[in-house]
Amino acid sequence: MSRRPGLYPNDRVTLREVGLRDGLQMVKSYPSTAEKQNWIAREYAAGVRHFEIGSFLPAARMPQFADIRDLIATVAGLEGAVSSALALNERGANDALETELDEIVCVVSATEEHSQANMRRSRDEAVKLVADIAGLAAHSSRKPFVNVGISMAFGCSLAGAVAHREVLQLVDACLDAGADIVGLADTVGFAGPKQVAELCTATARLCGDRPFIIHLHDTRGMGIANASAALDAGARVLDGSLGGLGGCPFAPGATGNVVFEDLVFLCESKGFATGIDLEALAKVRQIPEAAMPNERFHGALARAGPPPNLAWRAGA
Amino acid sequence: MSRRPGLYPNDRVTLREVGLRDGLQMVKSYPSTAEKQNWIAREYAAGVRHFEIGSFLPAARMPQFADIRDLIATVAGLEGAVSSALALNERGANDALETELDEIVCVVSATEEHSQANMRRSRDEAVKLVADIAGLAAHSSRKPFVNVGISMAFGCSLAGAVAHREVLQLVDACLDAGADIVGLADTVGFAGPKQVAELCTATARLCGDRPFIIHLHDTRGMGIANASAALDAGARVLDGSLGGLGGCPFAPGATGNVVFEDLVFLCESKGFATGIDLEALAKVRQIPEAAMPNERFHGALARAGPPPNLAWRAGA
């Protein structure tokens, strides 16, 4: 059982905005802290509650995440909002534990090749780090959630195909190590909906009554189809980024998380209420678009709007 | 039973390139006949066999389709290739019957409002026209296939929601009227995958061993997800257009057929062999892109390429 089941209820869909983290990982320029805070506030007003907002890394290495503490404070001031941030080592986790962060995100690569190239550690060492961070979190005063993302879970830019069995073993190992929730990431956008359905079905079986996260990239146009397949297979927590911003610095060719706005439309059209006002959400794009005029933003809903004369919302 | 079962085998997937018809319906400039012929030849070389290439309309009204007879001759010269063209009235059908056209496409609107606004006839009159054209085709020497597309089958820009029951009644009426194959068109991109799955399942049941067509627009980013749902529900013939070109002049906001290249990747990743060389297909985009520099082309596969180190093809 999760220590904080309320963070991710498993009886409805939760959408996580990862644009402020994954979306800013590769950009040349990035929004100011005030612009990010406005982005968060406007999305919160539209109904978004889960925000992955940065990474605990030396500011010299990733200056776009230097304001992580300010953003955690921003999210902490919004009732019911959840802040998440990456911690890639014990130092990052200790830094995180000094804040009001709600969720520490760890990353474990699905393949040994990517683990070594990306994190300079083996998968076993990465799982050991999860256990260490989960231990630190459990003994802290605020006891943040520990969320482990399995990157390259649907195929790896270095190692090629990834056996589902290996991913499931890692999911199991991470839960054993004390993860509260595990995510499957299609980091380089290799997956198709058949594969997503199969791996999500197996993961749902393994996780039992714990929810799991599905993190998709739209690199090959399959993002929404994969999200749809994941929902059908029992996934109830999905990552996305406003305007499909995002990529992975260690994954050549990986462009764009699945578009958050389009994900909202998909969920609602499938009967899953998201609590998000799609029209209000689409308008928030103005903030990152103005702050990053050189980035390419994606998404169909922001362009076309929802069907004007149709009851497309869940329960409508 | 279809009179020409070979045109659409129901034991595998057939992808129809409609870019030369639906893709050119709204464009300001369009490729020359030689450019279109090159487009067809290059796609044929990549493995495409079904080409919807225009409409039998007065050239003054739709100059982009004035070369329809030349293109029919081009397709007729390619072994195993199938040419389709719209005939919106009896005169168009008679003109078509004087050519080597393989398939006459008729359109019936799913809603009375759209039928009147678009075609200036009732749905009953449209079905009667199908019967007349099917009669002409049956008594002709070449006996072309009669394909009826039900437009606005998933929701209508004028009438809003469309009851599945009404669409199914129209499918049934068109088959009774002599249609060889019927298609469901999400003309304005209102559909989500749940709705597509439900209507395709019911249509598959109604059509029995006859295949049916699914024609999707990506207006709201659901194109590939809807195609995936349609395949799951038994659809085996799918329309798409290279680069997602296309729209509908009578459907405000309708932009882009589902992207043909991405559709190939989807099908292959789901285990449906398409017979199409995706890399070769993506290169054909150069032709319409050069001929129509002001049009916006879509699609992820052409940008990212298929996964470089993964066996993503059906049966691979």
- For every residue of A212-233, DSSP letters joined together read -EEEEB-TTS-HHHHHHHHHHT
Nearest by CB to A228, which of B225, B253, B311? Answer: B225
B270 to chain A: nearest residue by CA? Answer: A194
Nearest by CB to A300, which of B161, B188, B218? Answer: B218
**Tokens at B167, concatenated:** 């669409």
Pairwise pLDDT comparison (A59 vs B109), residue with the higher score: B109
Residue in B174, B200, B248, B267 annotated catalytic: B248
Q: Would A271 be classed as within a structural domain? A: yes
Q: How many whole angstroms separate alpha carbon B54 and alpha carbon B67? A: 8
Triad A151, A153, A157: Cα angle to 5°: 75
Helical packing angle, A193-207 and A223-232, nearest 10°: 40
- Residues of A within an 8 Å Cβ radius of B: 155, 157, 159-161, 188-195, 218-222, 224-225, 227-229, 253, 255, 259, 262, 265-266, 269-271, 299-301, 303-312
Residues of chain A contacting residue B301, judged by C-beta atoms under 8 Å apart = 220-221
Residues of chain B contacting residue A282, judged by C-beta atoms under 8 Å apart = none
Residue in A106, A156, A174, A248 annotated catalytic: A248
Q: How many whole angstroms separate alpha carbon B56 and alpha carbon B246? A: 18
Contact B184, B152 (CB under 8 A): no
Q: Would A259 be classed as within a structural domain? A: yes
Q: Would A145 be classed as within a structural domain? A: yes
Predicted-complex ipTM score? 0.95
Best A158, A186, A224, A303 member to test B by mutation, with max B CBs in 10 Å, is A224
Q: Would A62 be classed as within a structural domain? A: yes
Per-residue model confidence as pLDDT tens for chain A (316 residues): 344 556 898 779 999 999 999 999 888 889 999 999 999 999 999 999 999 999 999 888 999 999 999 999 999 999 999 999 999 999 999 999 999 999 999 999 999 999 999 999 999 999 999 999 999 999 999 999 999 999 999 999 999 999 999 999 999 999 999 999 999 999 999 999 999 999 999 999 999 989 999 999 999 999 999 999 999 999 999 999 999 998 655 445 446 899 999 999 999 999 999 999 999 999 999 999 999 998 889 999 998 999 999 999 998 7
Q: Active-site residue B248, yes or no?
A: yes
For chain B, counts of helices (H) and of strands (E): 12, 8
Least Cα separation, residue A171 to chain B (angstroms): 22
Contact B183, B239 (CB under 8 A): yes
Residues of chain B contacting residue A229, judged by C-beta atoms under 8 Å apart = 228
Give the phi and the psi of residue B58 in degrees, each rounded to 5. Answer: -55, 130
pTM, two decimals, is 0.96
What is the span of the domain harbouring residue A216?
10-301
A56's enclosing H/E stretch is strand A50-56
Q: Would A166 be classed as within a structural domain? A: yes
Nearest by CB to B225, which of A160, A191, A266? Answer: A266
Nearest by CB to A301, which of B221, B255, B265? Answer: B221
**B316: exposed, middle or buried (C-beta count within 10 Å: 0-12, 13-18, 19+)?**
exposed
**B228: exposed, middle or buried (C-beta count within 10 Å: 0-12, 13-18, 19+)?**
buried
The strand pairing partners of A52, in sequence order, are: A84
Q: Would B54 be classed as within a structural domain? A: yes
Length of chain B: 316
Contact B193 A157 (CB under 8 A): no
Q: How many whole angstroms separate alpha carbon B283 and alpha carbon B267? A: 19
Return the CATH number at B68: 3.20.20.70
Q: Would A134 be classed as within a structural domain? A: yes
Q: Would B278 be classed as within a structural domain? A: yes
B157 to chain A: nearest residue by CA? Answer: A309
Per the structure, the count of domains in chain A is: 1
Best B310, B312, B313 member to test A by mutation, with max A CBs in 10 Å, is B310
Rg (C-alpha) for chain B, rounded Å, is 18
Contact A222 B189 (CB under 8 A): no
